[in-house]
Amino acid sequence: MHVYGLAHVAAAGAAADTGNQSNGAEPAACRAIICTHGRQSKWSDYDLHPMLLHRLPSLRFLHPTHVQTLALDRMLDGQPTALTAETGSGKTLAYLVPLLHRLLSLPSPPPTAPSSTMGKQLPKAIVLVPNHLLIRQTAGTLALLAGNAAHVLTHPSDINNQSPPASPHAPLPSVLITTPAALTNHLHTSLPAFMSESGIQTLVLDEADLLLSGSYLAPTQAILRAVPRRAPNRPLLVLAAATLPPARSSKWPLALAQRAIPDLAVIRSSGSHAAPSTLDERFEYLTSTDDAHESGGTGGRGEALSARADKVLDILTDEQNDLRAAIVFTNLAKDVDPLAHYLRQRIDKEAGAWAQVYPMTSLPADSRDQLFTALRRQRNDMKPAVLVATDALARGIDLPSVNLVVHHTFPTDAVAYLHRVGRTARLGKPGVSVALVGAKDVALARGLELGSMGIEPSQDRILDPWPSSTRVTLVTIAVLYLTQVILAPPVQAAQVWQPEAIQSKAIAGVSGARAGAVAWNQRGAVVAGGKLGKARRV
């Protein structure tokens, strides 16, 4: 069930690598590995450190997932790798296992040897993530996997605050998990010296497409420029993302990565850029009355935010019997608290207080961590949890209890949609996504719905957002429209022309044509065009 506009990125990547390198679409040094099938393997098939071979099965990681199988060989060999795979497929463990193997395989320094000129043990690996939620989650996973074999730092300032070793033994190797801005702001001009002095073994960019765009780009590029380029000081470089499309311009995330890492190889799983195969995707198209969305607080009066809130409540109630946890996504942070307050009031008053509602933007950090811990342990003694959040919760967060995602307001592009629905149906478990679609969202929603039904665009839809077939389609629609307007008899005032009726005449032979175009922009995001006849090139 591929997401429309993302459906054939893997296949398009293959075409780009085999056919487009000659015309400069991708650097010749970049090798793409399009993997459709992964061999079944065991951890013992890899030359891993004995501690990892012991701890992985004990933590119920019984065998590598498909994605981990694809990536382990390259990463264990120290070859720079960009890994793009579907959400919930095990990308985090795919880079943490090689990271820890390389760390544990380092020769131990003598207990009396100075750790650095800074007087502290410098990290031997760095994992860059976009926000504090992912810092805490990744740090927890690493600590669980490493046990007492490594020290996990979650801010650059922790380097200078490490406690001295409690024994005469050599200090533990440390791993720094932080954001690009935190690292560059802390080190400033000493960043190159830090990267050289610390002897970094592994550098990971998790959610790489986000870190290589927007406000994250400048600090991420500064870190990449400071990385030693020559062996034996060059670290293993890993990029991990659920959405990393082939580069179409020099400003796309993958192109930026390839320029910084010329020998980067791209590994794409067969399910990359697609919604989970076990996801039940539903789209509910709203009437004009239902679509009246007015943001605002409810105070203590309990007045409805909009008819959308009632629709969300209906969805939650319908799924009540099977619900373990749900995430309700809304686009604006200012809507989170009022929406959560309204849902809580209605559930407590009318539905027997069968669920607990949490506004994620105002929930204290300690309470949020306790909630996440409970959801990860999938406790049976707690009420179903309803988390109301923005897209800040859509990236990388792993909460196994979540089996329902509701889109209170529709995502702005297909990338955001893919990350939202990726919070459920993870690692082969079932999940449900229900999206409320307003009038301005119809173009993108229809395309996504086609993708959920297996109706996919051709490969050149990705390689060229406006291929010739689409241009011909738009011309045909325009001609049909003009023909109808000019030649058709006068219509009654009550009659309304429906663009869908015209479109249906022109859709034959054009897979995935629809009102409004979905196309990649120069940053690699997917945006929706306007109504039929107003679609624009991005």
| 33: confidence class by pLDDT, cuts 50, 70, 90 | low
**Is 73 in the same domain as 205?**
yes
The verdict on 253 and 287 lying in the same domain is no
Q: 517 versus 286: which is more confidently predicted? A: 286
In a domain, residue 236? The reply is yes
Domain end call among 453, 482, 498: 453
Same-domain check for residues 243 and 312 = no
Q: Could you tell me if 202 and 78 are in contact, meaning their C-beta atoms sit under 8 angstroms apart?
A: no
pLDDT at 120: 61
Please identify, among 411, 432, 453, the residue that sits at the C-terminal boundary of a domain.
453
Contacts of residue 272, Cβ cutoff 8 Å, sequence gap at least 6: 9, 10, 84, 85, 86, 242
**What pLDDT band is residue 109 in, cutting at 50, 70 and 90?**
low
248, part of any domain: yes
Q: Is the pLDDT of residue 430 over 90?
A: yes
Verify that 127 and 241 share a domain, yes or no: yes
Yes or no: say if 416 and 407 are a contact pair by the CB < 8 Å rule: no
For residue 229, give the 3-state DSSP assignment. coil
pLDDT of residue 534: 32
Structure tokens that stand for 503 in this block = 């479109």
Question: Looking at the structure, do residues 336 and 427 belong to the same domain, yes or no?
Answer: yes
Residues 260 and 326 in one domain: no
Task: Please indicate, yes or no, if residue 100 is contained in any of the structural domains.
Answer: yes
Contacts of 228 (CB under 8 A, 6+ apart): 195, 196, 200, 234, 235
| Residue 325 placed within a domain | yes
Regarding whether 239 and 204 lie in a shared domain, the answer is: yes
Give tens-digit pLDDT for 237-290. Answer: 999 999 998 887 888 999 999 999 999 999 998 888 889 989 999 999 998 777
The answer to whether residue 329 scores a pLDDT higher than 60 is: yes
Has residue 490 been placed in a domain? no
Whether residue 57 lies inside any domain: the answer is yes
Sheet holding 279-285, edge to edge: 279-285, 431-437, 402-407, 325-329, 385-389, 356-359
- Lowest mean pLDDT of 43-52, 61-70, 245-254, name the range: 245-254
Domain end call among 406, 432, 453:
453
Structural domain for 305, as ranges? 279-293+301-453
Quickly state the pLDDT bin for 230 (edges 50, 70, 90). confident
Contact 80, 228 (CB under 8 A): no
Domain containing residue 407: CATH number: 3.40.50.300
Q: pLDDT by residue (tens digit) across 161-200?
A: 655 444 445 578 899 999 999 999 999 889 999 998 889 9
Are 186 and 327 part of one and the same domain?
Answer: no
Rounded Cα distance between 506 and 532, Å, is 12
Is residue 256 within 8 A of residue 217, CB to CB? The reply is yes
Give yes or no for residue 353 having a pLDDT over 50: yes
- The residue assigned the tokens 């490594």 is 150
Please give the Cα distance from 44 to 429 (Å, whole number). Answer: 26
> According to the model, what pLDDT value does residue 27 have?
36
pTM of model > 0.85: no
| Greater pLDDT, 115 or 207 | 207
Q: Does 429 lie in the same domain as 362? A: yes
Do 139 and 54 lie in one domain? The reply is yes
DSSP string, 13-67: HHHIIIIIGGGTSS-TT-EEEE-S------GGGS---HHHHHHHHHTT--S--HH
Q: What is the mean pLDDT of the chain?
A: 77
Determine, yes or no, domain membership for 87: yes
Q: How confident is the model at residue 452 (pLDDT cuts 50, 70, 90)?
A: confident
- For the chain, what percent of residues have pLDDT higher than 90? 56
Q: Which amino acid is at 169?
A: H
Of the spans 11-25, 117-131, 343-357, 401-415, which averages the highest pLDDT? 401-415
What is the number of structural domains in the chain?
2
More confident of the two residues 530 and 224? 224
Q: Are residues 142 and 204 in the same domain?
A: yes
Could you write out the three-class secondary structure of 442-453? HHHHHHHHHHHC
Residues 310 and 257 in one domain: no
More confident residue, 340 or 469: 340
> Exposed, middle or buried, 208 (CB in 10 Å: 0-12/13-18/19+)?
buried
287-324 per-position pLDDT tens digit: 877 776 544 444 433 343 668 999 999 999 999 999 99
User: Is residue 99 within 8 Å of 202, Cβ to Cβ?
Assistant: yes
Residue 210 lies in a domain: yes
DSSP secondary structure letter of residue 319: T
Q: Distance between CA atoms of 316 and 246, rounded to whole angstroms? A: 38
**Which residues are registered as beta bridge partners of 433?**
281, 405
